Amino acid sequence: MTMCPILDFANHSNQPEHTYPQLSHAEVWDQAPSKSMGDDFVLLSPKERTSSAREEVFLRYGPHPNRTLFVEYGFVRGTGSNTLENNSLDCEADLLWHISALFAKRGIVGKWMEELLRTEGYWGDWTIHSAPEPAHPSFRLVTALRLYHSVSLEAITPPEDETEVRAWQGTITGSQDMVSIKNEIAWRETLGVLCSAIENESSTYLNKVEEVGETWPKDSSVVCMRWSLSMLWREQQHVAQCVRKSLERGEDF
């Protein structure tokens, strides 16, 4: 944890910020900072943004999803009751545990796929997003699911004929758009099933937070944390629902 005097008083906003740090020479030239004190810390103000007297000045802590903001800073975005419903919040959900479980269930084949994904740099960071529209899976997630369906689900050993695997690698390099039509249908169906499962899972945990939360102290900090936990589950439920609907509409990603 780093404490920055004065700067720590600035709150985060997801809207265009009032001020932002000027890049240091080390950041501009992608080099290590000098051994001296380095550059002065300078805050700049966007020319298109004006501030009124007594208006709070916000910073943007970074393009972080709510789960990161909650863990690192102890709060989440989205204060209005209809924030999710009117799509004013760009929601994101991480499917790491769900996708990892799919590969784990495939035994030796799944382990082989994991090693291949790691080699290609596509293991982990599998997300779905509500914005920009249409709600969509990340390319990393699509890549993982394409590989998952590149080998028959009945296979118990890695394939000797790697025709589809080479086609999968082609979707990474950009030499082809898809592995096959059959593969596209399969991974989209799997993603739809996962989204439905996440919706149900989120509903279960929302109910648990509500039920258990009734026994918690009523002081403001605890109430805030309870609301944050609910918001995290509501966000995950919302983005899963949005992506599922995109799949049902046949949206291209």
Q: Give residue 57's domain range.
A: 1-62
- One domain for residues 146 and 192: yes
On whether the CB atoms of residues 96 and 124 are closer than 8 A, the answer is yes
Q: Which two tokens stand for residue 120?
A: 């290609």
Q: What is the pLDDT of residues 59-99, one digit of tens each?
A: 777 667 787 777 777 777 764 545 566 555 678 899 999 99
Q: What is the pLDDT of residues 163-205, one digit of tens each?
A: 888 999 999 999 999 999 999 999 999 999 999 999 999 999 9
Domain annotation covers residue 124 = yes
On whether the CB atoms of residues 179 and 221 are closer than 8 A, the answer is no
Report the C-alpha gap between 45 and 22 in whole angstroms.
10
Is the pLDDT at 154 greater than 80? The verdict is yes
- One domain for residues 52 and 135: no
- One domain for residues 4 and 98: no
- One domain for residues 58 and 98: no
- One domain for residues 48 and 145: no
Domain annotation covers residue 84 = no
pTM (2 decimals)? 0.78
Domain annotation covers residue 72 = no
Could you give the number of structural domains in the chain? 2
